[in-house]
């Protein structure tokens, strides 16, 4: 938190320009810096770091007993009591480990950093913008440390499963990014006043704890490889860490393979209702008018703003806001 840019709210902006600021305790930190802090923490706790590419598990009698790793031009065999696969949303390693049940992602997103000191103080909330131009998804601008801003677009359901083939919809993220910038004046101003730090980068998302098996003897899948990212918000860093902690707790609690895996899978199953609710809330991305409706209603209701804040802080459930019951409460409560 000491290195992060803090913010006090998420600004939700609807297609008609309505805005509601949902209070929360928020922090923005470039991923490279966060990873460095995490890696340093692991090293301080006794981990060894090896830059390597996971190629395949080593198996004996149906049990994973290590991994084949590519280190430069060499392939080495690393024996291990457990292999934890944390290889993110690109499914290649999952497939090599025999854990992938769906190779297509749940969505795709694109983001870059812009340094724009003149915009500091003008954009202070994490702004999330729903707009026809970004449908089915949203655009965002997050104030980051050192006068920088994280700006991007994300599209959900980018790979509709046509006849089980996981065919891709016609999604051009760069065109959607350009349309977002054209449609949202603060994004236009940011691009006009600032300069790019690095490039715009796109990547897939795997959401709702779907698309992979979670464990097999000797191996656990953690993080986004297990689909740990929230649908609707695309929030995944904290969630990935949470699944890592669940796996660590299970390994520390049980010497026996089946018991450790059962505890880990039970931990994920306990999170599932929340993921399902985020999946339901995802309809806001498909039907941006729902965002208009929520924002319009929240502008009038301190109680609804409080509930939205509860979703943000993870003390209440997002699905309640856009379920049929939630919608009728929006109108009639």
Ligand X SMILES: Cc1cc2nc3c(=O)[nH]c(=O)nc-3n(C[C@H](O)[C@H](O)[C@H](O)COP(=O)(O)OP(=O)(O)OC[C@H]3O[C@@H](n4cnc5c(N)ncnc54)[C@H](O)[C@@H]3O)c2cc1C
Residues that bind ligand X (CB under 6 A): 53-54, 86-90, 93, 109-111, 152, 203, 205, 223-224, 229, 234-238, 240
Nearer to ligand X, 152 or 326 (CB): 152
Nearer to ligand X, 223 or 326 (CB): 223
Nearer to ligand X, 227 or 326 (CB): 227
* Shortest distance (Å) from residue 330 CB to ligand X: 27
Q: Is 66 helix (H, G, I), strand (E, B) or coil?
A: strand
Nearer to ligand X, 31 or 160 (CB): 31
142, 234 contact by CB (below 8 A): no
205, 106 contact by CB (below 8 A): yes
**Which whole-number Å values give the CA distances from 228 to 80, 104, 203, 262, in the listed order?**
24, 15, 15, 18
Q: Which residue, among 73, 158, 147, has the nearest Cα to 107 in the 3D structure? A: 158
* Shortest distance (Å) from residue 163 CB to ligand X: 27
Q: Which residue, among 302, 304, 308, has the nearest Cα to 330 in the 3D structure? A: 304
Nearer to ligand X, 25 or 53 (CB): 53
Residue facing ligand X at closest CB distance: 236
Under DSSP, the state recorded for 210 is: -
Nearer to ligand X, 210 or 301 (CB): 210
Largest CA distance in the chain: 66
* Shortest distance (Å) from residue 217 CB to ligand X: 21
Residue 288 corresponds to which tokens in the numbers above?
Answer: 């941006």
| N-terminal to C-terminal alpha carbon distance within the chain | 38
Q: Which residue, among 9, 40, 14, 37, has the nearest Cα to 25 in the 3D structure? A: 9
* Shortest distance (Å) from residue 333 CB to ligand X: 31
3-state SS record for 142-190: EECCCCEEEEEEEEECCCCCHHHCCCCCCCCHHHHHHHHHHHCHHHHHH
* Shortest distance (Å) from residue 243 CB to ligand X: 8
Nearer to ligand X, 27 or 191 (CB): 27
* Shortest distance (Å) from residue 154 CB to ligand X: 7
CA–CA distance, 210 with 194 (Å, rounded to integer): 39
CA–CA distance, 93 with 137 (Å, rounded to integer): 27
* Shortest distance (Å) from residue 13 CB to ligand X: 17
Nearer to ligand X, 107 or 319 (CB): 107
* Shortest distance (Å) from residue 297 CB to ligand X: 26
Q: Is 329 helix (H, G, I), strand (E, B) or coil?
A: helix
Q: Is 44 exposed, middle or buried (0-12, 13-18, 19+ CB in 10 A)?
A: exposed
């Amino acid at each position: 938190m000491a290195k992060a840019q803090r913010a006090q709210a998420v600004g939700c902006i609807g297609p008609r320009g309505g805005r509601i600021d949902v209070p929360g305790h928020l922090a923005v930190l470039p991923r490279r810096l966060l990873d460095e802090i995490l890696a340093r923490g692991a090293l301080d706790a006794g981990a060894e770091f090896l830059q390597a590419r996971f190629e395949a598990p080593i198996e004996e009698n149906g049990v994973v007993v290590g991994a084949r790793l590519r280190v430069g031009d060499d392939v080495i065999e690393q024996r291990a009591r457990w292999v934890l696969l944390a290889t993110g949303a690109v499914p290649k390693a999952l497939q090599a480990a025999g854990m992938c049940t769906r190779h297509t992602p749940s969505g795709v997103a694109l983001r870059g950093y812009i340094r724009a000191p003149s915009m500091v103080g003008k954009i202070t909330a994490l702004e999330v913008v729903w707009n026809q131009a970004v449908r089915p998804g949203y655009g965002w601008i997050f104030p980051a440390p050192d006068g920088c801003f994280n700006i991007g677009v994300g599209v959900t359901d980018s790979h509709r499963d046509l006849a089980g083939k996981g065919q891709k919809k016609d999604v051009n993220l760069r065109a959607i990014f350009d349309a977002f910038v054209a449609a949202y004046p603060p994004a236009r101003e940011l691009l006009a006043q600032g300069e790019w730090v690095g490039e715009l980068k796109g990547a897939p998302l795997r959401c709702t704890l779907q698309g992979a098996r979670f464990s097999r003897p000797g191996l656990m899948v953690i993080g986004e490889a297990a689909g740990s990212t929230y649908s609707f918000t695309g929030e995944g860093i904290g969630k990935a860490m949470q699944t890592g902690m669940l796996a660590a707790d299970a390994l520390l609690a049980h010497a026996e393979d089946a018991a450790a895996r059962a505890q880990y899978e039970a931990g994920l199953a306990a999170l599932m209702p929340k993921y399902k609710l985020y999946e339901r809330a995802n309809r806001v991305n498909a039907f941006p008018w729902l965002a208009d409706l929520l924002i319009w209603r929240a502008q009038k209701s301190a109680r609804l703003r409080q509930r939205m804040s509860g979703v943000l802080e993870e003390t209440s459930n997002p699905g309640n806001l856009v379920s049929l019951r939630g919608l009728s409460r929006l109108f009639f409560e």
